[in-house]
């Protein structure tokens, strides 16, 4: 079966080995499988659930896109854009927020972890983050969502929301419940400083993670300083769960070398940590640097990829009558044409008006050399003709 893939990454800082092993490596593999249709989104609306400096955020959107490209995501094969340029994500999130139940959201462990002890001070956005994520996925009628293990619970929530919507409105299969695609092994990479915490962009210590843009010597230094314990490297996997840091390092090694944990243990049994760490640091250097710099420096390329992808993203939502958002609202408020029960009429003031207008514009200008683009400050979206003029 051809898969329709959707996934996103927050532009909250440098992407790290956890993002790479848990998600991006998988994005590239899926993109390269014949017949798959992939949408990879830089989810900037998710990023603002925590306070962001707008200038740094803008820069991070660029850097995340450059890292996507340098990691092997190909803009000719996959759709790449940033979420805030497609208003349907926020619109869908509101509608689906009216379907999701408080009790469901109260169970989300990521909110508990990120909000910490003082959850009264966390943003409402952080609390409803999984609803926005549900909208992201359902908008594109995605069949599969590649994510790290930490997002599994959110994916289950997306399925619950889709199923409740279909049930509430007696619309079987109207929204598709997506399947998570989670690596079987090493799907949760932990911090280099604490094997019980996941590797994360927002960890204040840069020594806790290997950034995909780190130089070789930086990686060597971080791996050398990575926490281990006083026991030797194990000769079997028994008791590894009592040694989370060692288990994590061996897991990273296994994942990057494409071998089982058992084989990695055999490879290093009886050897000392310095030898193991040296080999791990070699593998941990994913050679993105040249490609990354090339993409990061060429902001014109990034803009044009985003702009051409945006059109594809809209097309993908509108493709084959699958425009979920334009049907969500009529479905929700149950506007039916009695003579034709299969047809759902339009809401009087459809909140998806912008989207429809854009779609019409794109269709009517289909033969003209133009595309969706932003103005110079990337704050406004519209149609440009081939001379770079707003039309």
Q: Which residues are catalytic?
A: 114, 198, 201
Question: Among 224, 237, 235, which residue's Cα sits nearest to residue 282?
Answer: 224
Contacts with ligand AQP in 142-161 (CB under 6 A)?
147-148, 150-151
Told to check if 23 binds ligand AQP by CB under 6 A, we report yes
In the bound complex, what is the minimum distance in angstroms from residue 206's beta carbon to ligand AQP? 12
Q: Do 180 and 155 form a contact (C-beta atoms < 8 A)? A: yes
Q: Which pairs count as long-range contacts for 119-122, CB under 8 Å and 24+ apart, including other chains?
A: none
Q: Compute how many other C-beta atoms are within 10 angstroms of the C-beta atom of residue 152.
A: 14
Q: Residue 151 or 309: which CB sits closer to ligand AQP?
A: 151
Q: Is residue 63 within the footprint of ligand AQP (CB under 6 A)?
A: no
N- to C-terminal Cα distance for the chain?
Answer: 40
**188, 148 in Cβ contact below 8 A?**
yes
Query: In what helix (H) or strand (E) does residue 374 lie, and over which residues does it extend?
Result: strand 370-374
Shortest distance in whole angstroms from residue 213 CB to ligand AQP:
14
Least separation in angstroms between CB 363 and ligand AQP: 33
Kindly tell me which residue out of 89, 198, 306, 344 binds ligand AQP, with binding defined by CB under 6 A.
198
Q: Which is nearer to ligand AQP, 68 or 165 (CB)?
A: 68
The closest alpha carbon to 49, from 123, 136, 105, 99, belongs to: 123
Among positions 201, 222, 306, 311, the unique one binding ligand AQP when judged by CB under 6 A = 201
Beta-carbon neighbour count of residue 128 at 10 Å? 20
Tell me how many degrees the CA angle 70-75-80 measures, rounded to the nearest 5. 95
Q: Using CB under 6 A, which of the segments 7-15, 234-242, 302-310, 324-332 binds ligand AQP?
A: 7-15
200 is an interface residue for ligand AQP by CB under 6 A:
yes
Among 6, 19, 28, 136, binds ligand AQP (CB under 6 A): 19
By CB under 6 A, name the binding residues for ligand AQP. 9-10, 12, 18-19, 21-23, 147-148, 150-151, 187-189, 198-202
């Amino acid at each position: 079966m051809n898969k329709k893939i959707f996934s996103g990454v927050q532009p909250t800082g440098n992407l790290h080995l956890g993002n790479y092993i848990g998600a991006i490596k998988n994005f590239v593999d899926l993109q390269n499988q014949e017949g798959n249709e992939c949408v990879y989104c830089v989810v900037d609306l998710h990023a603002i659930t925590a306070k962001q400096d707008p200038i740094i955020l803008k820069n991070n959107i660029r850097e995340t896109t450059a890292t996507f490209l340098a990691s092997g995501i190909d803009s000719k094969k996959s759709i790449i854009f940033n979420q805030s340029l497609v208003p349907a994500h926020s619109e869908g999130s509101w509608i689906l927020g009216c379907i999701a139940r408080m009790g469901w959201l109260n169970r989300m462990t990521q909110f508990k972890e990120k909000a910490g002890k003082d959850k009264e001070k966390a943003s409402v956005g952080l609390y409803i983050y999984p609803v926005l994520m549900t909208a992201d996925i359902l908008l594109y009628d995605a069949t599969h969502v590649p994510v790290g293990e930490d997002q599994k619970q959110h994916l289950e929530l997306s399925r619950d929301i889709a199923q409740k919507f279909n049930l509430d409105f007696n619309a079987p299969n109207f929204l598709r419940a997506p399947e998570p695609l989670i690596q079987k092994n090493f799907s949760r990479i932990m911090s280099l400083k604490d094997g019980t915490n996941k590797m994360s962009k927002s960890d204040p210590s840069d020594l806790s993670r290997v950034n995909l843009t780190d130089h070789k010597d930086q990686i060597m230094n971080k791996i050398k300083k990575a926490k281990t314990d006083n026991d030797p490297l194990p000769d079997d996997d028994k008791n590894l769960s009592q040694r989370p840091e060692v288990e994590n390092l061996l897991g990273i090694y296994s994942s990057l070398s494409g071998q089982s944990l058992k084989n990695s243990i055999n490879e290093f049994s009886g050897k000392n940590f310095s030898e193991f760490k040296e080999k791990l640091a070699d593998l941990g250097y994913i050679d993105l640097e040249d490609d990354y710099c090339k993409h990061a420096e060429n902001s014109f390329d990034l803009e044009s990829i985003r702009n051409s992808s945006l059109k594809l993203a809209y097309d993908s939502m509108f493709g084959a009558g699958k425009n979920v958002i334009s049907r969500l609202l009529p479905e929700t408020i149950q506007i039916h044409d009695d003579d034709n029960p299969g047809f759902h009429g339009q809401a009087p003031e459809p909140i998806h008006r912008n989207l429809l207008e854009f779609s019409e514009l794109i269709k009517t200008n289909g033969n003209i050399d133009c595309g969706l683009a932003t103005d110079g400050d990337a704050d406004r979206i519209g149609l440009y003709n081939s001379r770079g003029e707003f039309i």
